[in-house]
Amino acid sequence: MKITAAQALVRCLELEKVDIVFGYPGGAMLPVYDALYHSSIKHVLVRHEQGAVHAADGYARATGRVGVCMATSGPGATNLVTGIANAYMDSVPLVVFTGQVPTSQVGTDAFQEVDITGITIPITKHNYLVKDPAALPQIIKNAFHIASTGRPGPVLIDLPRDVAGATIDFHYPETVKLRGYKPTYRGHRNKINEAAELINRSQRPVIYAGGGILNSGASGELLELAELISAPVTNTFMGLSSFPGDHPLFLGMLGLHGTRYANLAVTECDLLIALGARFDDRVTGKLARFAPHAAVIHVDIDPAEIGKNVPVHVPIVGDVKLVLQSLLPLLKKTDRSPWLARVQELRELYPLRYNREGGLKPQYIIEELYRHTGGCATIATDVGQHQMWVAQYYRFKHPRGLISSGGLGTMGFGLPAAIGAQLGLPDQQVILVTGDGSFQMTMQELATVREQELPIKILMINNQTLGMVRQLQEYYCEGRYMAVDFEFHPDFITLARAYGIKGYTVETEEEAQRVIPEALGTTGPVLVNCLVSPQEKVLPMVPSGRGIDETFEC
Amino acid sequence: MRHTLAVLVENNPGVLARVAGLFSRRGYNIDSLAVGRTDNPAISRMTIVVEGDDRVLEQVTKQLHKLIDVIKISDITADEYVDRELVLIKVSAEPEKRGEIMQIADIFRARIVDLGRRTMILECTGNEGKIRAFEESLKPYGIKELVRTGKIAMLRGSRYTNINTNGTREDD
């Protein structure tokens, strides 16, 4: 079949069963957009390319499928960079297409030319500059394979305009051609045996479960493991929603803003079972004080994560679901009631708490949200204090319930990500919890919400300041608040109305109790502007450079 | 400790940038890097000399493996191998000094590959120590220009760093 490379691209996407692409057109992408004109694939036009890549990311996180986005050359491509880095840090599968100037002009500083493959080498799992139009189908086949297998991540394909317009003899390859890429899925038998022995012998195990559980779909196995060996489970931020938030064995999140009882359980445990987690600095605090009495079993699909930050006693490279399936039959059901009693004691000594005096508290809003949704909503967040309050107070019931920027911490991620999540899961209640800082970074996408008729509920924790930075300045700069308090605030209700979105303002607990269920029950999109005090802090907190057992709360 | 890595990579544009970028971005020190295509034109081979303890080397190897274009990595440091560098040195060579320089070249089994009115270019191959000694010997005459390739290395005997047959001996 003779078609243009651009038509082949669209055909490949159809064959990969892509139903939605997020994008923004431009000169270098004309052939591709022209080809999309005849396709059944839905194209979602955003208002800024960053919105496209975050939306594709939100779509991928919510559905577990590969997110696809596209932008034109030059500024279109560079506007994607933050979103690509964001997806790379959080291991989100994306295939990103960028237009490029014609091959004859590549390297001449042509109009809207930028070396996007060069720029994105450190933030993509792999990238391609397509020079031979006939190679495009194989490249797309490879890209989807690379993005979605092993440790997932973004793959970028840069397509010069003349290449896109060239005619090729199209056929979509059945197989990938990648001799340098063979992820390990099955854990090493001997290592799995060693892990089983360690687990069966241990008195005080803790399971430390990260985003790898969600990526491999291993929540069922995780639950089975925890209940079988009576081990409490703590989640990394990325791992949240992989274990039921209301389960008696759940310790909540650990680390910098983790619960004290999770951090202390890790400190006291004799065996740490790390599953699809990477011992990130926000989790471990000072390494010398992290799980000092514990042997460590580390299961991860990325061998480079094993032994990177902490020494590991039993390393297992593999897909965590498959590894757990091999491991579970080797484990003995063990009574660990003294350990569980100790964990319960820690839980009662150091509960997650906040002072409800003095106006509407952000933590209370999240608790109300939890109460009204039963932990079943898909919650997208932005980055900052509100994000940590969601992590602490929303008890996720189902896997992939949290859509949030973990590794990169990208303010402005929330709204476009919620758009992607809602388009991926049209029947699911998608709620964006954001802050007034983050929201203003990408709020132009309200137009996309409206245009796509998405029933997203936006809950803005509005403290009229950059709360997380303010909190850091309070602790580390002796309260010299520099460039954190907004002196001008838009009227968010009028702003929402400008986009045809209903708005509420909430200032008291009573209003929150009334408005939150009303907003959740509304058919279309809603913005709830929750006015809270700028003084409120995310606690507990591990001070910079300290161990996670040195959390403070006041 | 210094390690010598033999790395087989896809002969794709940008592969050198990917490898070199990885080293600088993760803070690993490259002592030398030599690259050229192999008998298979689709595959290039890099010889990378990197400084670091075992932990660093483990990370270097694992991170390199994550590059899709990297096919195979062998740390040959602990094995028996042959390594060579090639150096070209342009040295001041007034007619009355040429005899001495030619004697030095003889000792190092270097070759004279160019003779100008006042300069000579000498070509020498060998391991790092020999190259260093050769350079030292020529210094007194005035080195005008020097270029070296970086180390290339190959396992001795019938072991080889190849796509499908790494580390296997033909005779066992």
Per residue in A82-133, pLDDT (tens digit) is 999 999 999 999 999 999 999 999 999 999 999 999 999 999 999 999 999 9
Total tally of structural domains belonging to chain B: 2
Q: Do B17 and A126 touch (CB under 8 A)?
A: no
Contact A462, A492 (CB under 8 A): yes
Provide the pLDDT for residue B87. 97
CA distance to B20, B82, B108, B113, B121, per residue, from B134 (Å): 29, 19, 7, 16, 13
pLDDT band at B50 (very low <50, low <70, confident <90, very high): very high
Same domain? A390 vs A520: yes
Beta-carbon neighbour count of residue A98 at 10 Å?
Answer: 29
Tokens 């106006």 belong to residue: A359
DSSP per-residue string spanning B132-143:
HHHHHHHGGG-E
Contact A526, A503 (CB under 8 A): yes
Same domain? B36 vs B9: yes
Residue B37 lies in a domain: yes
Same domain? A265 vs A342: yes
Whether residue A540 has a cis bond before it, omega within 30° of 0: yes
Cα–Cα dist A34/A38, whole Å? 8
Q: Do A180 and B10 touch (CB under 8 A)?
A: yes
The alpha helices in A161-285, defined as continuous H runs, are 161-165, 189-201, 211-216, 219-229, 260-268, 281-284
Nearest beta carbon to residue A118 from set B17, B62, B63:
B17
Residue B102 lies in a domain: yes
pLDDT digits (tens, 9 = 90+) for A385-409: 999 999 999 999 999 999 999 999 9
Residue A540 lies in a domain: no
User: How high does pLDDT run on average in chain A?
Assistant: 97
The residue segments making up the domain with residue B122 are 82-152
- A125 has a chain B CB within 8 A of its CB: yes
Mutate to test the interface with A, among B66, B70, B163, B166 (most CBs of A within 10 A): B66
Q: Which of A105, A102, A109, A46 is nearest to A76 (CA)?
A: A46
- Edge to edge, the sheet with strand A233-235 lists A250-253, A233-235, A205-209, A271-275, A295-300, A314-317
Evaluate if residue B58 carries a pLDDT over 90.
yes
Task: For residue A546, count CB atoms less than 10 angstroms from its CB and return exposed for 0-12, middle for 13-18, buried for 19 or more.
Answer: middle
Cα–Cα dist A95/A84, whole Å? 10
- A121 has a chain B CB within 8 A of its CB: yes
Total tally of structural domains belonging to chain A: 3
CA distance B86 to chain A (A): 30
Provide the pLDDT for residue B164. 62
Q: Do A304 and B62 touch (CB under 8 A)?
A: yes
pLDDT digits (tens, 9 = 90+) for A433-465: 999 999 999 999 999 999 999 999 999 999 999
Q: Looking at this protein, which amino acid is placed at residue A150?
A: G
Instruction: Give percent above pLDDT 70 in chain A.
Output: 100
pLDDT digits (tens, 9 = 90+) for A273-311: 999 999 999 999 999 999 999 999 999 999 999 999 999
Provide the pLDDT for residue A29. 98
Q: Do A129 and B9 touch (CB under 8 A)?
A: no
Same domain? A164 vs A24: yes
Query: Which of A295, A316, A349 is the endpoint of a domain?
Result: A349
Cα–Cα dist A46/A76, whole Å? 12
Instruction: Give percent above pLDDT 90 in chain B.
Output: 85
CATH number at residue B129: 3.30.70.1150
Q: Do A180 and B25 touch (CB under 8 A)?
A: no
pLDDT digits (tens, 9 = 90+) for B74-119: 999 999 999 999 999 999 999 999 999 999 999 999 999 999 999 9
Q: Which of A504, A480, A483 is nearest to A493 (CA)?
A: A504
Angle in degrees, CA A344, A346, A352, rounded to 5: 100
pLDDT band at B168 (very low <50, low <70, confident <90, very high): very low
The residue segments making up the domain with residue A100 are 2-169
Same domain? A36 vs A158: yes
pLDDT band at A554 (very low <50, low <70, confident <90, very high): low
Cα–Cα dist A290/A294, whole Å? 9
Residue A552 lies in a domain: no
Contact A206, A266 (CB under 8 A): yes
What is the ipTM metric for this complex? Answer: 0.91
Phi/psi class of residue A545: alpha, beta or left (left: φ > 0; alpha: ψ in -120 to 50)? left
Task: Give the β-pairing of A2-4 and A457-462.
Answer: unpaired
CA distance to B105, B106, B114, B116, per residue, from B111 (Å): 6, 8, 9, 15
Residue B166 lies in a domain: no
Residue A545 lies in a domain: no
Mean pLDDT of A492-499: 98
CA B127 to chain CA centroid, Å, is 9
Cα–Cα dist A326/A185, whole Å? 12
pLDDT digits (tens, 9 = 90+) for A510-526: 999 999 999 999 999 99
pLDDT digits (tens, 9 = 90+) for A22-47: 999 999 999 999 999 999 999 999 99
Q: Which residues of B touch A146 (CB under 8 A)?
A: 68
Half-sphere exposure of A511 (CA within 13 A, CB side): 13
pLDDT digits (tens, 9 = 90+) for B113-152: 999 999 999 999 999 999 999 999 999 999 999 999 999 9
- Residue B64 host element (H or E): helix B54-66
Residue A237 lies in a domain: yes
- A19 has a chain B CB within 8 A of its CB: no
Which chain B residue has its CA at the smallest distance from A182's CA?
Answer: B68
Same domain? A152 vs A67: yes
Cα–Cα dist A104/A108, whole Å? 9
Provide the pLDDT for residue B172. 30
Cα–Cα dist A239/B168, whole Å? 42
Same domain? A409 vs A517: yes
Residues 34-53 on B with a CB inside 8 Å of A are none
Same domain? A130 vs A211: no
Same domain? A95 vs A28: yes
Q: Do A121 and B17 touch (CB under 8 A)?
A: yes
pLDDT digits (tens, 9 = 90+) for A235-261: 999 999 999 999 999 999 999 999 999
Mean pLDDT of B42-61: 94
Mean pLDDT of A464-478: 96
Q: Do B59 and A118 touch (CB under 8 A)?
A: no
Evaluate if residue A380 carries a pLDDT over 90.
yes
Instruction: Give percent above pLDDT 90 in chain A.
Output: 98
Same domain? A224 vs A105: no
pLDDT digits (tens, 9 = 90+) for A48-84: 999 999 999 999 999 999 999 999 999 999 999 999 9
Cα–Cα dist A484/A385, whole Å? 13
Same domain? B88 vs B62: no
Q: Do B18 and A181 touch (CB under 8 A)?
A: no
- A118 has a chain B CB within 8 A of its CB: yes
Contact A68, A94 (CB under 8 A): yes
pLDDT band at A498 (very low <50, low <70, confident <90, very high): very high
Which chain A residue has its CA at the smallest distance from B56's CA?
Answer: A308
